[in-house]
Homo-oligomer: A and B are copies of this chain.
């Protein structure tokens, strides 16, 4: 925002039930799935909306500023930088669920001794713990300003970049570990039907009893093959800044002087080669 953007340079708080504030909710979880096949989304409903301000009155007491392009950018970045830390923090339980479900399905299928299974589980562990580690480090590297801890911007963006970059690789490995039963398995009504249940229990058992194995499969389906999983995958790429926006933030947060100086010391070129060494023209 710069001069000329006065009209758009405002910030305020607003109650979600303010008159004329309209929320058009998405459809992605419009039905309530069976708890058997949708162990998460049948109990926990996520809502995304198109939010429209259709002549909403904001009392002056709730206005932070108006007509102030000079404050707008700083405010937007201030929000984003905190929010990215939130964004990656709240993913850690999702990653734990994926790692735990991967470990469990390998045991349930009786394949946990196979080399390629171990390899995929190790990758899942490495992925989840890298994200957790970088998130933790972003907090440890905080600046405390006026009693508020501000997570380190570069490290926060690293954590989010690693999370987003490798999420689909984690989905792929989970589906690989689980097997086709993810999408060929029974629904809840069949499972509860007296005449069907014993057949399913007989044929769907492996190293674990059918009931427990199917419970693991349904969790992995929820996380990777149904609407809830699709929602999480899109969130990984797009929420709290898209992957491309994330890369820009990472690039901006990086201070290149150390690397440039060290390379120059090794390579021996002149500091002012091309006359534009000093800054890195970002």
- Knowing A100-B261, A118-B251, A268-B215 are in contact, say whether A37-B31 is a contact too (CB < 8 A): no
Is A19 part of the binding interface, using a Cβ–Cβ cutoff of 8 Å? no
Determine if B230 and A266 form an interchain contact, defined as CB atoms under 8 angstroms apart: no
- List B contacts of A125 (CB < 8 A): 250-251, 254, 256
A240 to chain B, nearest CB (A): 10
Is A69 part of the binding interface, using a Cβ–Cβ cutoff of 8 Å? no
Residue from B115, B172, B218, B235 in contact with A237 in the complex, judged by beta carbons closer than 8 Å? B172
Binds B, one of A1-9, A60-68, A82-90, A127-135: A127-135
Determine if B188 and A274 form an interchain contact, defined as CB atoms under 8 angstroms apart: no
The count of identical subunits is 4
Binds B, one of A71-79, A143-151, A202-210: A202-210
Instruction: Name the prevailing secondary structure of the A interface residues.
Output: helix
Report Cα–Cα, A269/B27, bound state, in Å. Answer: 20
Report Cα–Cα, A162/B165, bound state, in Å. Answer: 14
- Knowing A130-B162, A133-B134, A250-B126 are in contact, say whether A225-B219 is a contact too (CB < 8 A): no
Determine if B180 and A274 form an interchain contact, defined as CB atoms under 8 angstroms apart: no
- Knowing A24-B200, A226-B230, A230-B230 are in contact, say whether A269-B119 is a contact too (CB < 8 A): no
Residue from B100, B158, B168, B280 in contact with A171 in the complex, judged by beta carbons closer than 8 Å? B168
Is A239 part of the binding interface, using a Cβ–Cβ cutoff of 8 Å? yes
Residue from B104, B175, B227 in contact with A238 in the complex, judged by beta carbons closer than 8 Å? B175
What would 21 A/B residue contacts be, using CB atoms closer than 8 Å?
A: A26-B187, A27-B186, A28-B184, A28-B221, A31-B31, A48-B183, A52-B199, A97-B262, A97-B263, A107-B276, A122-B250, A137-B137, A168-B172, A175-B234, A176-B242, A179-B238, A180-B235, A180-B238, A208-B273, A224-B230, A225-B233
Question: Given contacts A116-B119, A125-B254, A212-B274, could you give 16 more A-B pairs where the C-beta distance is less than 8 Å?
Answer: A24-B190, A24-B200, A31-B31, A100-B264, A101-B267, A103-B256, A103-B263, A104-B269, A133-B133, A133-B158, A167-B172, A168-B168, A182-B234, A211-B269, A212-B269, A225-B229
